[in-house]
Structure formats: structure tokens, C-alpha cells
């Protein structure tokens, strides 16, 4: 085997992962985000940059999708207006771009991305199957999406990140993400890890698994739009995401609960998977952000 083969494999794997998550023009977008001159919302050493630039985001993104589905109004909006079935990779690419540009891009580009998402939210409205109205720009729903998302990213980073954050860093991450959330219309987003947990707990009475939620979970976990050869690796990431879901969500979403296996086999396999992704992506240093709707 040629001595350059490992580098070639690394480059091919990086390109395959990056274009799958960020879209066909991923490299051009990456260069614009990272190389455009101008002030940024966050310094390179900010906690949000550490979390959103790490391979653990792949696991956190899957967990965020599962947890967000527990709110009936949020799930109804996704089911009726999102392309998660017809164009799942397009949706992921748009999400990835939003996270990357608001975290790493220029302040001007980040503000433009926020305005575009806000405009998209304005036209997403309707009623759930039980007749409850929803609107994607509702600050209460926006906050649910936000807290479920950042809790997932932070937990994944603490489990599988290259450099887990200390208590001050975790508070800093929540505060950094609050700055973006406020610009999106979230009212009173959490600014500390404690506030994050308190706000998540406050949503518990509203959460339940609808038929739409269970259908979305089956799609995300069991029938992802991936080549057959890629499904075992994806299965490892999905298992790691499921293992971090709250116990109270398992039965409603029909998620398995195997505490011994999750603490041993799944944890070890998830660590290997994220190290492999981190190794591959470091060839091009992309930012693998995943889950903004």
C-alpha cells in the first residue's frame, strides 16, 4: 500500500462527510464563513466555537431532533412544513450553514442568516391534529427548540467532545447561544447551565409523543437516507444519541433503554466514531454544525 493511502482515505472521508452535511457547495461556503474579513459575534476561543466546531455535534444533532419531537406543536410544524422526509440532507445542510455562519462567520453574514431564518418562520403556521394552533415564530416554541438543541449539543460535547468544558465553560456556552437565540426572537433564553435545566423541566407538562413524533423517530433512527454501507457507522452515532435521551422520553418515543450496554458498549463505540470523524474532518477543518430548523 502506498504511504500516501491513509492521507487519501482521510481526504475522501472528509469530503464525503462535509458535502453530505453542508451541501454540494460546502467548500465555497466554508471559505466564505471562515476566511471573509470582518468582526465576528464570537472570539475563536469562545465556548460556542469549541462546541460547534467539534465532531460530537453529529451525535448532538441526532439527539436534538429526537428531543425536539416531544413538543406536539413543534413537531406538527416540522411535519407539515419541513423537508425532513423529501429533502433531509438539504434541511441538514441549511441547518449546518446557520450554525456555522452564526458561530464562525462575520457579524454581517450572521445577521443576514438570522433574518432569513426569521422570515422563514413567519410563514410556518397551522394547527395540530387535535386543533391546537402553532406558529414557528411563537417565542415559546422558539425557546423550546433552542433549549432542546443546546442541551443536546452540550451533553454530546461533555460525553464525546475533544475537550469537555468545565462549569464556567458550560455556563459560557449557554450564554453564547443565548445571544444568537435572542436575535431569533427567543424571549429570556437561559444564560447558565442551571437555567437551561430549569427551563427544560418547565416544558415537561407540555411534552408528549404524538404519532408524528414516533414516525419522525423511526425515520431518523431506522430508515435514514444513507447508502447501506454507511448505515452501521450512522447506527453507532444514533445509538449514542439515544443513550443520552431522558429516561422519561424512552417509552413514549419507543426508544430502547439498555442502561448497561449504553454505559459500556455504546459509550465506547460512540467515542471511537467521533474520534474517527474528528480525524477525517481535521483534514479540511470544516465546522460540522447540524440542527437548526
Tens digits of residue pLDDT in 91-108: 677 788 899 999 999 999
Domain holding 152, by residue range, is: 7-281
Domain presence at residue 98: yes
Q: Counting Cβ atoms within 10 Å, is residue 51 exposed (0-12), middle (13-18) or buried (19+)?
A: buried
Residue 288 located in a structural domain = no
pLDDT in tens, 50-74: 999 999 998 999 999 999 999 999 9
More confident residue, 7 or 245: 245
Rounded to two decimals, the pTM is 0.88
Q: In the predicted model, what is the mean pLDDT of residues 211-215?
A: 92
What pLDDT was estimated at residue 167? 98
If you average pLDDT over residues 199-218, what whole number do you get? 94
- For residue 103, being part of any structural domain is answered with yes
Lowest mean pLDDT among 169-183, 214-228, 238-252: 214-228
186 or 234: which carries more pLDDT confidence? 186
The answer to whether residue 23 scores a pLDDT higher than 70 is no
Number of folded domains in the chain? 1
pLDDT (0 to 100) of residue 24: 61
- Mean pLDDT score of the chain: 86
Residues above pLDDT 70, as percent of the chain: 83
Per-residue pLDDT at 192: 98
Per the model's pLDDT, the better-predicted residue between 231 and 135 turns out to be 135
First to last CA, the chain: 44
Confidence class of residue 288 from pLDDT cuts 50, 70 and 90?
very low
Question: Within a domain: residue 290?
Answer: no
**By C-alpha distance, which of 89, 105, 92 is closest to 48?**
105
Give the pLDDT score at 121: 92
Secondary structure in 3-state letters for 164-188: CCCHHHHHHHHHHHHHHHHHHCCCC
Q: Output the pLDDT for position 286.
A: 44
- Is residue 85's pLDDT more than 70? no
How high is the pLDDT of residue 280? 73
Q: What is the mean pLDDT of residues 275-290?
A: 63
Contact partners, residue 256, CB within 8 Å, separation at least 6? 242, 250
What Rg value do the Cα atoms of the chain yield, rounded? 18
Amino acid at each position: 500500500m502506498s504511504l500516501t493511502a491513509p492521507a487519501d482515505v482521510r481526504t475522501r472521508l472528509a469530503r464525503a462527510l462535509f458535502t453530505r452535511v453542508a451541501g454540494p457547495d460546502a467548500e465555497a461556503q466554508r471559505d466564505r464563513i471562515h476566511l471573509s474579513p470582518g468582526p465576528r459575534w464570537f472570539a475563536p476561543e469562545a465556548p460556542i466555537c469549541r462546541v460547534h466546531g467539534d465532531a460530537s455535534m453529529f451525535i448532538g444533532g441526532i439527539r436534538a431532533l429526537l428531543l425536539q419531537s416531544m413538543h406536539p406543536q413543534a413537531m406538527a410544524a416540522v411535519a407539515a412544513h419541513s423537508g425532513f422526509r423529501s429533502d433531509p440532507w438539504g434541511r441538514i445542510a441549511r441547518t449546518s450553514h446557520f450554525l456555522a455562519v452564526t458561530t464562525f462567520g462575520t457579524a454581517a453574514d450572521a445577521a443576514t442568516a438570522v433574518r432569513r431564518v426569521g422570515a422563514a418562520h413567519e410563514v410556518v403556521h397551522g394547527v395540530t391534529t387535535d386543533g391546537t394552533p402553532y406558529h414557528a415564530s411563537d417565542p415559546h416554541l422558539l425557546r423550546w427548540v433552542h433549549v432542546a438543541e443546546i442541551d443536546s449539543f452540550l451533553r454530546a460535547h461533555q460525553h464525546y467532545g475533544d475537550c469537555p468544558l468545565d462549569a464556567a465553560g458550560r455556563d459560557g456556552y449557554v450564554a453564547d447561544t443565548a445571544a444568537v437565540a435572542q436575535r431569533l426572537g427567543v424571549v429570556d433564553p437561559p444564560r447558565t447551565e442551571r437555567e437551561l435545566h430549569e427551563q427544560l423541566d418547565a416544558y415537561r407538562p407540555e411534552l408528549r409523543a404524538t404519532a408524528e413524533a414516533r414516525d419522525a423517530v423511526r425515520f431518523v433512527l431506522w430508515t435514514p437516507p444513507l447508502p447501506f454501507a454507511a448505515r452501521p457507522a450512522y447506527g453507532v452515532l444514533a445509538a449514542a444519541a439515544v443513550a443520552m435521551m431522558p429516561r422519561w422520553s424512552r417509552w413514549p418515543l419507543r426508544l430502547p433503554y439498555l442502561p448497561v450496554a449504553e454505559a459500556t458498549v455504546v459509550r465506547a463505540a460512540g467515542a471511537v466514531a467521533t474520534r474517527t470523524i474528528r480525524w477525517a474532518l481535521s483534514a479540511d477543518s470544516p465546522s460540522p454544525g447540524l440542527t437548526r430548523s
